[in-house]
Amino acid sequence: MGNKKPVPPLDQVGLIIIGTGAALFYYYLEKTIQTGQNISVFITMGIILLISLCTQLLINSINRSKSALAEANENLEMKVKERTTELRESEMKYRTIFENTGAATVIVETDGTISLANSEFVAISGYEKKDIENKKSWLNFIDKKTHRRLLNDKVFSGREHGTNWEAKNFECEFFDNDNNKKDILCTLSPIPGTDKSVVYLADITELKKAERQIYHQAFHDTLTDLPNRALFMEILNMAIRRSRRRADYHFAVLYLDIDRFKLVNDSLGHNVGDKLLIAFANRIKDSLRDIDTLARFGGDEFVILLEDIESDDYASGVAKRLQQELKRPFMVGGKEVFALASFGVVSNTIDYAQAENIIRDADAAMYHAKENGKAQYKVFDKKLHKKAMHLLQRETDLRKAIHINQFENHYQPIVDLKTASLVGFEALIRWNHPQLGLIYPGSFISIAEETGLIIPITRLVVEAACNDLQKWQEQLGDQINLSMNVNISIKHFLLPSFLDDIQAILDKTGLDPNRLKLEITETALMEDADDTIRLVNRLKDYDLQLVIDDFGTGYSSLSYLQRLPIDTLKVDRSFVSRIRNEPDGNRNIVEAIISLAHRLDMIVVAEGVETQEQYAILLEMNCQLGQGKLFSMPMNKKAVDELIQNILHFYQQHPDQLYPLADMLSN
């Protein structure tokens, strides 16, 4: 605050003069009265003095007011100065904040014109500051769609800056001077008390990229980058909805499965397998139109959606064309590999309301195509639908059958060809269906395998077989040693619990593990080569033996066989049925199989021996064991009970002789 201003010295002097004047006036007035002179001069002088005094007092008062005014003025100036400093500081503060919002920030007018832009905005815009402020609308930087939407929503024009007006957040695309694109998160807030707004533009390009990547991964197969099942189902559902809206819109679905793909994986490795899948996907994709969708459902399964097709035949035409394309080999890992595929086609999609059902039927059609001998295509039709329903019914029946055990084992004798004596049996399952009578395994084993029901079924078969053999062996004593062959599905065999399952049955029935032989078909063994080798090697720990069934149909390689500790090899019936005494091709093949097996220390069983001629030839070829109609077809348990009794009876009468099996059976 300022100091008090002193009263001007002239005013003091004025007062002294007036005081002195007054004293002189009084002195002379008294003198005049004493001397009796005229006093009118003095009265005039007195009035003058009084006026001077009043004037002087007035001046003094004015001077004091002036001084107070000056002081007040000075105070005011001080205050203004302080406010100005405060304002400047405040503006500096807001400018600093504006400049350092961490985002490109602009202050905009109601029409979008930028009145102020921070350096970050200037940097991302690609313009100079002078070309932006008061010259450009920030809306010119964002994508047209958002631009239109904002104008429609009247976000700027005509809005009132009331207290209720809230900040708006939205994502948009930002284009700089060179038309480079960025993803931006905008926050638009009104500035209270003005009709301006502040707009923050945060660069979220990286975030959006990551978001898109995550989205892409969720809906695409990582190996081939094709749409995955989830995305395909979405697209297929859209096609269904479209076909409902538009009578002229038709679509079809193809389900593809590469034939014998597992063989490629097992023999050439997963790396080559992966490369083959990529090459396969590319070739199929290149053969389709842009509007069609190819998706990978996992493994070697692919699905195609053909859109806007003119006729139902179109899809079959595509299947044929694609199969033609696949006849050319693929070059992967420096090797030529073939990848033929089986196709299931659903071309009449009118009646479908759900994508899942189309896929189910396309899959079923593909399955039938495979059954028909691979590299085929099958169109799903009414017949197939009926068949599918039938299979469903069979599965339901099968579940019930397991529950109440409607199964029984039949046993086919296995014979030593040299002595024509019994060495054991093969257990073959039969299903006593309450309505359909005895059903053979050919009609239900594959469904059981597909549904996993083969596992409880195998347990029932193996347990009954072990029980029965244990009982027969106890009756026979040491005189005859029999073994029991059981058929095992590879799916069950490869389960980690398999060996424990078998062990539990052996423990329960008390059968010597040496007497149990596990038959696995050659085809199944080939399909899961690596896993099989690992497991087969563990069999020895359990004293179990492995028999390779239906040999000759699975195209095993010699080196593969050498790696497996297999005890017995069964030559498939199809080879045995064609051996005759003439030195034709088939005889040579069977001879080669037998000598190969012998070299690998395996015992050979000939399956389906039906004639004496075949028997004689097999003997000539040194085939040790046989099984077939010539000796006996599979018999029920009661028949085997009788056979055992006959053998025992024979031994009691002829302890030193070998029993003639044929005689025993005919009884």
Identify what 257 binds: ligand C2E, Mg ion, none; CB under 5 to 8 Å per kind. none
The angle that helices 229-245 and 355-371 make with each other, rounded to 10 degrees, is: 110
Q: What torsion do the CA atoms of 649, 654, 660, 666 make, to the nearest 10 degrees? A: -30
Q: Which residues between 506 and 535 bind ligand C2E (CB under 6 A)?
A: 519
**CB crowding 619-631: b at 16 or more within 10 Å, else e:** eebebbbbbbebb
Count the residues of the shown chain that bind Mg ion, applying the rule CB under 5 A.
5
Q: Which does 412 bind (CB under 5 to 8 A by kind): ligand C2E, Mg ion, none?
A: ligand C2E
**Which partner, Mg ion, ligand C2E, none, binds residue 344 by CB below 5 to 8 Å per kind?**
none
Q: Which does 424 bind (CB under 5 to 8 A by kind): ligand C2E, Mg ion, none?
A: none
Q: Could you tell me which stretch among 235-243, 257-265, 302-310, 623-631 binds ligand C2E (CB under 6 A)?
A: 623-631
Distance of closest approach, residue 426 Cβ to Mg ion, in angstroms: 6
Nearest by Cα to 487 from 574, 590, 410: 410
Stretch that binds ligand C2E, among 101-109, 293-301, 435-443, 651-659 (CB under 6 A): 435-443
Least Å from the CB of residue 486 to ligand C2E: 6
Residue 227 in contact with ligand C2E, rule: CB under 6 A? no
Closer Cβ to ligand C2E, 67 or 523, answer by number: 523
| Options 75-83, 249-257, 434-442, 637-645: segment touching ligand C2E (CB under 6 A) | 434-442
Residue 487 found at the interface with Mg ion (CB under 5 A): yes
Tell me the H-state helices in 269-422: 270-286, 313-325, 355-371, 382-403
Only one residue has tokens 């790396």, namely 271
Structure tokens given for 350 = 């009118």
Residues 357/248, Cβ–Cβ less than 8 Å: no
Please say which residue, 293 or 458, places its beta carbon nearer to ligand C2E.
458
Please report whether residue 608 would count as binding ligand C2E according to CB under 6 A.
yes
Among 610, 619, 646, 648, binds ligand C2E (CB under 6 A): 610
Tell me the closest approach of the beta carbon of residue 617 to Mg ion, in angstroms. Answer: 19
According to DSSP, the β-strands at 407-416 and 625-627 are: antiparallel
* Cβ at position 412, least distance to Mg ion in Å: 9
Residue 461 binds to ligand C2E (criterion: CB under 6 A): yes
Q: Where are the alpha helices (DSSP H) in 405-488?
A: 445-451, 454-476
Site for Mg ion in 600-619 (CB under 5 A): 607
Region of 202-210, 238-246, 259-267, 622-630 interacting with ligand C2E (CB under 6 A): 622-630
With CB under 5 to 8 Å by kind, the binding choice for 114 among ligand C2E, Mg ion, none is none
Closest approach of Cβ 440 to ligand C2E, in Å?
4
Query: Binding ligand C2E by CB under 6 A: which of 105, 113, 316, 489?
Result: 489
Provide, rounded to whole angstroms, the least separation between the CB of residue 438 and ligand C2E. 11
Q: Are 323 and 265 in contact (CB under 8 A)?
A: no
Backbone angles phi, psi at 199, to 5 degrees: -120, 120
655/318 Cα distance (integer angstroms): 73
To ligand C2E, the closest distance from the beta carbon of 628 in angstroms equals 3
Helix, strand, coil content of the chain in percent (nearest 5): 50, 20, 30
Figure out which of the listed residues 428, 593, 618, 640 binds ligand C2E, where binding follows CB under 6 A: 428
Is the Cβ of residue 307 or residue 531 nearer to ligand C2E in the bound state? 531
Closest separation between CB of residue 408 and Mg ion, Å? 17
* Shortest spacing between CB 648 and ligand C2E, in angstroms: 25
Query: Measured between alpha carbons, how far is 104 from 102 in angstroms, rounded to an integer?
Result: 7
Among 9, 102, 442, 655, binds ligand C2E (CB under 6 A): 442
The whole-angstrom separation of Cα 633 and Cα 640 is 12
Count of all residues that appear for the chain in the document: 667
Residue 634 binds ligand C2E (CB under 6 A): yes
- Residue in 181, 599, 629, 649 binding ligand C2E, rule: CB under 6 A: 629
Residue 632: half-sphere exposure toward Cβ, Cα within 13 Å:
26
Q: Residue 550 interacts with ligand C2E (CB under 6 A)?
A: yes
316 binds ligand C2E (CB under 6 A): no
441 binds, among Mg ion, ligand C2E, none (CB under 5 to 8 A by kind): ligand C2E
Closest CB 519 distance from ligand C2E, rounded Å = 6
Is 487 near ligand C2E (CB under 6 A)? yes
Beta carbons of 569 and 593 less than 8 angstroms apart = yes
Binding-site partner at residue 489 among Mg ion, ligand C2E, none, CB < 5 to 8 Å by type: ligand C2E
Closest distance to ligand C2E from the beta carbon of 492 (Å): 8
- Compute the distance between CA of residue 522 and CA of residue 569 in angstroms, rounded to an integer: 9
How many CA atoms does the CB half-sphere of 15 hold within 13 Å?
11
3-state secondary structure 97-143: HHHCCCCEEEEECCCCEEEEECHHHHHHHCCCHHHHCCCCEHHHHEC
Phi-psi region of 249 (alpha: psi -120 to 50; beta: other; left: phi over 0): beta
* Least distance (Å) between residue 629 CB and ligand C2E: 3
Shortest Cβ distance from residue 547 to Mg ion (Å)? 8
Q: Please pick, from the candidates 273, 413, 626, 628, the single residue that binds ligand C2E as defined by CB under 6 A.
A: 628
In DSSP notation, 127-190 reads: S-HHHHTTT-BGGGGB-HHHHHHHHHTTSSTT----TTPPPEEEEEEEE-TT--EEEEEEEEEE
* H/E stretch holding 521: strand 516-521
Write down the least CB distance from residue 647 to ligand C2E, Å: 21
Task: In whole angstroms, give the CA distance from residue 464 to residue 407.
Answer: 10
Amino acid sitting at position 504: A
Judged by CB, which is closer to ligand C2E: 188, or 576?
A: 576
Q: What's the token pair of residue 192?
A: 């209270």
Q: Is 431 helix (H, G, I), strand (E, B) or coil?
A: strand
Query: Interface with ligand C2E includes 95 (CB under 6 A)?
Result: no
The answer to whether the CB of 546 falls within 8 A of the CB of 516 is: no
Smallest distance from Mg ion to CB 656, Å: 34
Residue whose CB is less far from Mg ion, 348 or 523: 523
Q: Is the CB of 215 or the CB of 440 nearer to ligand C2E?
A: 440
CA distances from 504 to 462, 464, 500, 634 (A): 11, 13, 6, 27
User: How would DSSP label each residue in 358-394?
Assistant: HHHHHHHHHHHHHHTTSS-EEE--HHHHHHHHHHHHH
**Whether the Cβ atoms of residue 331 and residue 363 lie closer than 8 Å to each other:** no
User: Of the candidates 276, 549, 593, 623, which one interacts with Mg ion according to CB under 5 A?
Assistant: 549
Whether 533 and 553 have beta carbons less than 8 Å apart is answered as: no
Q: Binding to Mg ion (CB under 5 A): which residues in 499-538?
A: 519
Footprint of ligand C2E (CB under 6 A): 412, 428-429, 440-442, 445, 458, 461, 487, 489, 519, 549-550, 607-608, 610, 627-629, 634
Interface with Mg ion (CB under 5 A): 487, 519, 549-550, 607
